[in-house]
Amino acid sequence: MKWSSFSLAALCCLALAGCRRPVERIEWPVMGTVFAEVERLLNAHNPDSELSRLAPLGDDAVLVQCDERMRPCYAAAFALERLSGGAFSPRWRGTNTLDLGAIAKGFAVDLAAESTYVDGNDALLDLGGNLKAIQGEGGSRRPWRTGIRNPGGDGFAAEVDLREGEALATSATYFRGSHIRDARTGAVVSNGVASVTVLARSAMWADGLSTALFVLGPEDGAALLHAAAEKFPEAGVSAALWLLSDGSSLLSGPSSSRFSIPH
């Protein structure tokens, strides 16, 4: 899990223009509203948030009593906990706790993509490294080329073209050092993985899976990727890239060839 303060409002922006053209970064009022509402309800560090209030309840009770708009995020977190054998868990701090920090940013990106109307150009929605491509009215439909940072140095270790409606999320040690923990043990993960990037249509699932696959490593992670794609086809989970601390890389998923890795 990525244990971090869940803060969204200051990061909401859209990158406008087509692939390989100048990029304009702007904020949309509707996006600020979306992110602020997600943070207000799902902030584990605010004792007055809905998430904190619901934390002592069982999973089923949480799904019944939570805000209807937030229910998909809770449901996905509980489902990913089951699928991952507990490697990912929104209750990593204990039975009576909840923390959606490892999946809520992606969820907010999906909500913003659904709520934002882009007049003219296409857009790449970027929330702290959680990306989603959306098409504007009359947009070009050209993909967005984005790079995955080289965890061992400068530049990019891989590139991928994001098509309309696709999302990308990365969990990595270079964001805040060794901060990702195995929810089964509470220990910081030290399995030779430096970063994991997941390609999907759901930014929420890309976000949550990137953490779970980091914890599990390539072998068990590949099995989880397949299980998530099969059980939740609406999430559009299609590929994952592991970058290892020894400089090697591993790919999994039917769209793994979409990642371009220089040799």
- What domains can be seen in the chain, in order of their start residue? 9-258 (3.10.520.10)
**Residue 125 exposed, middle or buried by CB count within 10 Å (0-12, 13-18, 19+):** buried
Give the model's pLDDT for residue 118: 60
3 three-state secondary structure: coil
Tens place of pLDDT per residue across the chain (263 aa): 443 434 443 333 444 434 444 455 545 555 567 888 999 999 999 999 999 999 999 999 999 999 999 999 999 999 999 999 999 999 999 989 999 999 999 999 999 888 876 666 688 888 887 999 987 766 667 899 999 999 887 899 999 999 999 999 999 987 655 679 999 999 999 999 999 999 999 999 999 999 999 999 999 999 999 999 999 999 999 999 999 999 999 999 999 999 999 87
37: Cβ–Cβ under 8 A, 6 or more apart, which residues? 69
Give the C-alpha distances (Å, rounded to integers) separating 41 from 37, 94, 140.
6, 20, 36
Give the model's pLDDT for residue 171: 93
Q: What residue ranges in the chain does DSSP mark as E strands?
A: 14-16, 24-26, 123-127, 130-134, 144-149, 156-162, 167-172, 193-200, 239-244, 249-252
Q: What tokens does 133 get? A: 């491509």
Contact present, 203 and 167 (Cβ < 8 Å) = yes
Give the C-alpha distances (Å, rounded to integers) separating 112 from 25, 37, 156.
15, 11, 27
Give the C-alpha distances (Å, rounded to integers) separating 86 from 20, 155, 212.
41, 34, 9
213: Cβ–Cβ under 8 A, 6 or more apart, which residues? 171, 196, 198, 221, 224, 225, 240, 242
